[in-house]
Amino acid sequence: MVYLSLSFRVKLDVEALNMVESIGNVTRHRRAPIVVKTSEGYLVRYVQVVSGESLAHAYQANLADLAVKLGLPVCPLCRRHEFLKHSDESLLKRDDAEPWEKDLAKKGIDAHTFESTVVKNCVVEDVGGFLYPQLTVKRTSKFQVSYLVPASEELEAVALEAQFHVRYAEEKEQQQIYWVETGSGVYTALFNLDIDGIGYTSSVKKEKVVDDEERLKRIKAAIQAAQLTFSNMLMGAKRTRFHPLWEITSAVLALSHPVAFAVSAGHRRNYIVSTVERARKQLDSLKKLGVGEDITIYYYIGNDRGVVEEPASGATRVELFEELFSKAIEYVEERVK
């Protein structure tokens, strides 16, 4: 199993990436509770967040667009970023359904054939999974993503504030006042990718459904789509007027094989060092069990220099956040067969 795990910190100023409701003329930002350690123990703080669903939608949209550019198959709905997936029989009978989709509605199709046909014809559902309850086809997503939340050790530098705006009209009485809650702070998120699962069925049995060349192309697209999503901040809603100012301040990426290893969350300033120490422990214990594990770690330190601790050994530093993903692609080119 080749497994990719990424954790990063990003400084966002004046973001309105995930709004949840309007109360009168105020649009509210999504909030969620996080647990924070203080000198007296743990307490809960309510802070602005961007949901994992929002990030997952953005990642899949970026993956769909990239896959189309690479000539990889993407189904008509995913191409339009309508991630209904193949979740209901009615969707198979749409007017614009492709012949392979219409065939899936025929009687006698078994769960395995259903999954392998969808995986073969849609990279987004290969990587992002789908659920078809009628035949109990449950394809688990090959990627996982957390919420984007303020880093718990940087809560002194977090603010949520409603900004005043006026919608102009020629008649003064018709001008409208509105407020948008915007957040600023150092945020963190986690992203994992089960590279081994891409191009294989998994619901009923494991079987490869595309050839090696296409599988490698799909894996590279899945990694590159993560780079596009996070390094360009191609995610979140309300982007027309509220594009945030962003800066990735540090990140750590681990590639592991054959046992999965997940990096530490970026809440704490020692998260890169902690990742390296945990990897060392996992390597030791697997070695004792006779498993020849490999964990390769790359990290990036930008403006977090002097704030986030750097490991003395056990990981390679890259000069740019984007390089983490090219290193990951090099890794899979060597190992994925």
* Closer residue to Zn ion (CB): 12 or 124: 124
* Closer residue to Zn ion (CB): 124 or 221: 124
* Closer residue to Zn ion (CB): 61 or 75: 75
Q: Which of 305, 297, 312, 221 is nearest to 253 (CA)?
A: 297
Closest approach, Cβ 125 to Zn ion, in A, equals 4
Give the residue ranges of DSSP H helices in the chain: 52-69, 76-79, 89-92, 99-104, 111-121, 123-128, 212-231, 271-288, 323-335
* Closer residue to Zn ion (CB): 14 or 135: 135
* Closer residue to Zn ion (CB): 72 or 216: 72
Let me know if 290 is exposed, middle or buried by CB neighbors in 10 A (0-12, 13-18, 19+): exposed
Closest approach, Cβ 96 to Zn ion, in A, equals 13
Yes or no: say if 181 and 47 are a contact pair by the CB < 8 Å rule: no
Residues 244-263: b if buried by 16+ CB within 10 A, e if exposed: bebebbbbbbbbbbebbbbb
Kind of pairing between the strands at 294-301 and 159-167: unpaired
* Closer residue to Zn ion (CB): 124 or 332: 124
Closest approach, Cβ 93 to Zn ion, in A, equals 16
Residues 3-27: b if buried by 16+ CB within 10 A, e if exposed: bbbbbbbbbbeebbbbbeeeeeeeb
Closest approach, Cβ 158 to Zn ion, in A, equals 37
Yes or no: say if 236 and 50 are a contact pair by the CB < 8 Å rule: yes
**DSSP helix/strand/coil, 101:** helix
Interface with Zn ion by CB under 5 A: which residues?
A: 75, 78, 122, 124-125
- To which residue do tokens 């930008």 refer? 302
Closest approach, Cβ 130 to Zn ion, in A, equals 7
Closest approach, Cβ 64 to Zn ion, in A, equals 8
* Closer residue to Zn ion (CB): 225 or 265: 225
In 3-state terms the chain splits into helix, strand, coil percentages (rounded to 5) of 35, 30, 35
What one-character-per-residue DSSP string does 244-263 give?
A: PEEEEEEEEEEEEESS---P
Closest approach, Cβ 310 to Zn ion, in A, equals 41
Yes or no: say if 17 and 236 are a contact pair by the CB < 8 Å rule: yes
* Closer residue to Zn ion (CB): 125 or 194: 125
Closest approach, Cβ 76 to Zn ion, in A, equals 8
Which amino acid belongs to residue 286?
A: L
